[in-house]
Structure 1
Amino acid sequence: MIEGRSLATAKSDSDADLAARAAWLHYVGGMTQSEVAKRLNVPNTRAHRYIARAQNEGLVRIFVDVEATDCVHIETELMRRYGLGYCRIGMEVPDSNPIPLKTLSVVGADFIMQAAAGRKHSVIGVGNGRTLAASVNAMGRQASPDVQFVSVLGGLTRSFAANPYDVIHRLSQKTSAASYLMPAPLYANSAEDKQVMLQQFGISETMNLIEQATLIVVGVGDIGSGEGGISASMLDGALAAEDLRQAGAVAELLGQFLSADGSILSSPYDDRVMAAPLQSLKGREVVAIAGGATKVPAISAALDSGLLTGLITDEATARAIVALPPT
């Protein structure tokens, strides 16, 4: 007889197995949801939940064999214009969100899985944010014992609760790879506090591991739009974003700021940010996963900075960036 925690574990394993079977019968077997329900001897509503769970946990991957010629042309133009070594544009799908997470998450998940499966990078740095979290959630389960993941910036809130968009724990679940969280907020309270924190066990080791990362996957934040921008809770009060805009900030990258022409902008946060300095990204592969109409100026600034070697975005955002006048 299984009791207590073992009983809960057994039920979870059983549900996971049923979710996988339901998805297989629906997508591979071509059964309707009612037919799946009958086959598994469960109510229709439960069959629907099982199939949805399989999708959410990345157990279902759909491949479409099509040549998206227009997207390839735009990818080529972005690579030429910004000197990128890699560019992937996801085709448009209906999405009511200001940030096209459906498209970005699928293409982003594929990139991260390929990077984790290859032998080129033994340490991969990963940022935080809604888009990166969605990309990791869309990944299938893939054992990647030869790679380590590390957070490249602090992800704790001011109350030291976990960041809701933290991706490291989920990456560990998906890949069974060693994954290291930066156990710190995005910004220390002061420059002095940052120096003290950098000496602490856990943080100093994480910073050393970040220096070893040969691939860094980041998001791009805009300043204060509320749609994929850095949140006011991370900054010094509600007016902080406006102060940054007045100073010329357009984009946020690893908690640091860029002006419209891609120049690294000095800010009061530079001595407090718990992240790798932007200058330290040079010479490494740095791929951004970002998109959405509100982010076009920010992504353009990130591209102009010369810090990025790769970009994953959606079709509408890519077209908008290509349409911008040359800087």
Structure 2
Amino acid sequence: MTEPSPDFDLIRQIHTVLVLHFLEGLKQSEIAAKLNLSTSKVNRLIAQGRRLGMVQIDIKSPFQRLSDIEQNLVASTALESARVTPTVSGNADTTLHQVGRAAANLLLETLRDGDVIAITGGKAVSAVVENLSPEHPLDVTVVPLTGGVQGKFYTDVNHLVTRMAERLGGKPILIHAPLFAENRAQRDMLTGMAPIKQVFDLARTANVALTGIGSVEPRASSYYDLNPVPEADRKMLVGMGIAAEFMAHLIGINGQVADYERNQRLVALHPHDTATCRTVIGVAAGAHKARPLQAVLNGKLLNSLVVDEETAAAVLAQMKGSEHAA
């Protein structure tokens, strides 16, 4: 049934209500009091204005360029979602803080009561933890994905697990094992011990995983905080085509876990162990993370990424260059 054409007075009344509601921000009850109408009448006038096409909502963001980059990242990779924050030129700490805050918000949107969240250590994950501010406690369990390295707060995964559980209102499960064993046999012995095996078995069932993406090329890379290596070995890693550290594993530019001795000594879950997670969030900041990110994305090891604008643009440029080279 076609709605009859409204008369001029009705159109004027609808227009007045729409202006008060959508432009001046008045509640329907406030409009009703102001115009001496019932709230139900105001609701009907707004609905009629919508039907007549009198309401056109145009939402613009001052950061539309960031939304465009996010869409390009999702379209160009296996990612299901991406969040890009502004890069603060000349201030890496502030850039990392902003990325951490965005990742913290994404994590809070993702988590549900009863979830298990598994995390790595690292500066980026630490930035996420410090930005967590839930509106109410969450009944979650936080577990590590790797053994730990003591000495710095961000390499001690147990510290970050405890801190995250405190901020979320959840429960921490800690692991009492080093990140690196002396050899593969010792690694197998450690991961076979019941207390460590139980933690990693729980981590394999995680609903959400949160991990940083490390670089291996810069001398100051935080990867070398985990296990210092001689300068010659660092150059050898780069020469071998190793481009990233993910869950403490060295990853080639093709996205595959490298066949390298260090990986054989890790007391950590394998990157593919997170494949059953509902959400695997990667967090990174800084242009030096562009190549590591490309490697991790090539391996389809993430389904969600939080990164700064400059780094995201560099990743997209590298991917475009790789396509042209192929």
Q: Name the CA shift for 1:95/1:108 in 2 (closer, same or farther; >3 Å).
A: farther
Aligned to 2:282: 288
- The aligned length equals 260
1:134 to 121, 124, 127: 127
1:190-201 correspondence to structure 2 within 5 Å: 190-201=183-194
2: CA distance, partners of 1:240 / 1:99: 32
Q: CA contact under 8 A between 2:217 and 2:243: conserved in structure 1?
A: no
Secondary structure at the aligned position of 1:270 is classed as: helix
2: CA distance, partners of 1:122 / 1:170: 17
Aligned to 1:251: 244
**Which residue identity lines up with residue 278 of structure 1 in the other structure?**
P
Aligned to 1:122: 115
Shift of 1:169: 1.6
Structure 1, 277-286 or 243-252: larger mean CA deviation? 277-286
2: CA distance, partners of 1:183 / 1:160: 16
1:10-21 correspondence to structure 2 within 5 Å: none
2: CA distance, partners of 1:78 / 1:169: 33
Q: Name the CA shift for 1:237/1:209 in 2 (closer, same or farther; >3 Å).
A: farther
Aligned to 2:11: none
Q: CA contact under 8 A between 2:142 and 2:171: conserved in structure 1?
A: yes
1: CA distance, partners of 2:178 / 2:217: 19
Q: Name the CA shift for 1:239/1:180 in 2 (closer, same or farther; >3 Å).
A: farther
Q: Name the CA shift for 1:302/1:161 in 2 (closer, same or farther; >3 Å).
A: closer
Q: CA contact under 8 A between 2:70 and 2:84: conserved in structure 1?
A: yes
Shift of 1:190: 1.0
Secondary structure at the aligned position of 1:77 is classed as: helix
CA deviation profile, 1:208-229 (whole Å, cap 9, x unmatched): 1111112211100000414544
2: CA distance, partners of 1:160 / 1:188: 19
Q: CA contact under 8 A between 1:105 and 1:138: conserved in structure 2?
A: yes
Shift of 1:88: 0.6
1:129-168 correspondence to structure 2 within 5 Å: 129-140=122-133, 142-157=135-150, 163=155, 166-168=159-161
Aligned Cα root-mean-square deviation (Å): 2.6
**Alignment TM-score, normalising by the size of structure 1:** 0.72
Q: Name the CA shift for 1:233/1:75 in 2 (closer, same or farther; >3 Å).
A: closer
Aligned to 1:301: 295
**Which residue identity lines up with residue 82 of structure 2 in the other structure?**
C
Q: CA contact under 8 A between 2:144 and 2:174: conserved in structure 1?
A: yes
Q: For structure 2, which runs of at least 5 residues remain unmatched after alignment? A: 1-59
CA deviation profile, 1:172-208 (whole Å, cap 9, x unmatched): 2211201122322211111111122123342111111
2: CA distance, partners of 1:228 / 1:131: 13
Secondary structure at the aligned position of 1:154 is classed as: coil
Query: Identity of counterpart residues, as a percentage?
Result: 20
1: CA distance, partners of 2:155 / 2:322: 37
Q: For structure 1, which runs of at least 5 residues remain unmatched after alignment? A: 1-64
Q: Name the CA shift for 1:225/1:163 in 2 (closer, same or farther; >3 Å).
A: same
Larger Rg: 2
Shift of 1:101: 1.1
Q: CA contact under 8 A between 1:227 and 1:294: conserved in structure 2?
A: no
Structure with greater helix share of residues:
2
2: CA distance, partners of 1:230 / 1:280: 21
1: CA distance, partners of 2:120 / 2:311: 21
